[in-house]
């Protein structure tokens, strides 16, 4: 099977590449290597698979390059490339638009022209729902929780593209969905919550679980924006890959659909009030942090309602928060040299 992955040297992309190469599939990775850690991830894939991995250095903003790189017999396109940080989008909204909105449009147009039979997966984000300021929140001792959504936010939640990042990712989200309706492409949108796992080079603006683990392991400073009681659902990388696989196996149902994909209500953690003690246990010592003011648009709670994916795709997360974070900590501990 022929697999094409934009952003295939990034965290999610390289794990997808590893999964497919391990199954014996042919994988083409299309990446501009602009993200921290991508060169290390590419070297890891090459060490494991040699010439079986096809790497093309290119940028999704370049339609001609995409068009030329995409094999006509591609079975699946995973569109994982893009600009990933809200803060960056605010500082440079044009670059954010070109990477996420124009880049996604280019991927869809290349697929329509070259490989219209391919299943196209788009990695969207819960940020398309905005700050959700109208949703009632209850404050507890160590976390916030929804008053009216005990099972999380469903796909029917109104879109509210707050921040340039929300706008650009939301644009790609809606284009991807509409290319199934208008052109009959087999597109699937995953509105992903916090994904974490090995090969993730998290930084303060993106990949917070890995960032906290890396900083704690290496003795680097950690800043908590707000009070640390914000809650997120988190999903281990292998569970995300199994969700993509489930959607491909049920593409007759999944084509043209949108799914909220995350850890769901059973896999939540407060950003520091809950995560801090767990991290201190793994580190074996107290971890000092500093606090700063809230960041604009930060959701007090985001939890995905994952029942649609369970109902239609037969998918559920398997790795618990505690197990996943321990796995990530061990990987960072064993690969500390990768982090400078």
As annotated, the active-site residues are: 165
Please give the structure tokens belonging to residue 34: 């602009």
DSSP character string of 151-181:
T-B-TTSPP---HHHHHHHHHHHHHHHHHHH
- β-bridge mates for residue 192, sequence order: 125, 261
Long-range contacts of 272-279 (CB under 8 A, 24+ apart): 272/224, 272/228, 272/229, 273/142, 273/143, 273/227, 273/228, 273/229, 274/142, 274/143, 274/231, 275/209, 275/212, 275/325, 276/228, 278/322, 278/325, 279/212, 279/213, 279/216, 279/325, 279/329
Report angle CA 320, 255, 162 to the nearest 5 degrees: 65
Distance from the Cα of residue 139 to its chain's centroid: 27
SS3 133: coil
SS3 190: strand
Spatial separation of the C-alpha atoms in residues 250 and 37, rounded to whole Å: 33
Instruction: With CA atoms as reference, report the closest residue to 115 among 52, 70, 79.
Output: 70
Q: Which H or E run includes 193?
A: none
Sign of CA dihedral 176, 182, 185, 189: positive
Spatial separation of the C-alpha atoms in residues 162 and 132, rounded to whole Å: 9
- β strands within 271-324, DSSP E: 290-292, 301-302
């Amino acid at each position: 099977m022929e697999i094409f992955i934009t952003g295939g040297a990034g965290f999610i992309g390289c794990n997808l590449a590893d999964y497919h190469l391990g199954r014996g599939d042919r994988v083409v990775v299309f990446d501009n290597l602009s993200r921290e850690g991508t060169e290390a991830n590419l070297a890891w894939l090459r060490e494991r698979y040699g010439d079986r991995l096809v790497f093309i250095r290119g940028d999704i903003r370049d339609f001609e390059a995409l068009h030329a790189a995409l094999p006509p017999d591609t079975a699946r396109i995973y569109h994982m490339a893009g600009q990933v940080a809200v803060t960056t989008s605010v500082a440079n909204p044009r670059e954010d638009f070109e990477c996420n909105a124009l880049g996604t449009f280019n991927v869809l147009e290349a697929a329509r022209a070259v490989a219209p039979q391919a299943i196209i997966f788009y990695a969207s984000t819960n940020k398309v729902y905005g700050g959700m300021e109208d949703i009632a929140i209850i404050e507890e001792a160590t976390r916030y929780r929804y008053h009216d959504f005990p099972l999380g936010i469903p796909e029917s939640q109104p879109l509210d593209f707050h921040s340039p990042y929300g706008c650009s990712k939301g644009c790609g989200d809606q284009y991807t969905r509409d290319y199934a309706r208008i052109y009959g492409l087999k597109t699937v949108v995953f509105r992903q919550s916090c994904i974490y796992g090995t090969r993730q080079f998290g930084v303060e603006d993106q990949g917070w679980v890995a960032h906290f683990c890396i900083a704690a392991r290496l003795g680097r400073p950690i800043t908590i924006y707000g009070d640390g009681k914000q809650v997120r659902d988190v999903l281990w990388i292998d569970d995300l890959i199994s969700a993509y696989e489930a959607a491909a196996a049920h593409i007759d149902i999944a084509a043209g659909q949108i799914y909220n994909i995350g850890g769901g209500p059973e896999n939540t953690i407060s950003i520091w009030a809950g995560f801090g003690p767990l991290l201190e246990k793994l580190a074996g010592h107290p971890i000092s942090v500093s606090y700063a003011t809230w960041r604009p648009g930060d959701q007090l709670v985001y939890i995905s309602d994952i029942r649609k994916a369970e109902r239609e795709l037969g998918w559920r997360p398997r790795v618990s928060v505690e197990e996943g974070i321990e796995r990530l900590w061990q990987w960072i501990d064993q690969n500390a040299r990768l982090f400078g």
